Amino acid sequence: MNKKVEDIVLKLGTTFDTVIIDPPRSGVMEEVIIYLKHSDIKNIIYISCNPITQARDVKKLLDKYVLESVSLVDMFYNTYHIEAICYLRLR
């Protein structure tokens, strides 16, 4: 089953210790950012093919989370495309 995160997470009404998000190039929807900021999720692993929108989204979370690490993965050799992986930890 392939569903959008905003269609599932926002309706669950439960909490998680860790979430892994891998949004489209446009980044995380604002509703999901708000959900994350108001939750007690301890760890966020954010995977992105667009480091620009990833940086924008991570910046919105920094008042509640600490950016612990960033890793870049060259998934597409001989192209400019990379995957960026950020690990954020609850303050």
- Residue 2 phi/psi, 5-degree rounding, is -120, 105
Q: Is 49 a catalytic residue?
A: yes
Tokens of 70: 């960033």
Q: 5, 49, 67, 70: which is the annotated catalytic residue? A: 49
User: Which residues carry out catalysis?
Assistant: 49
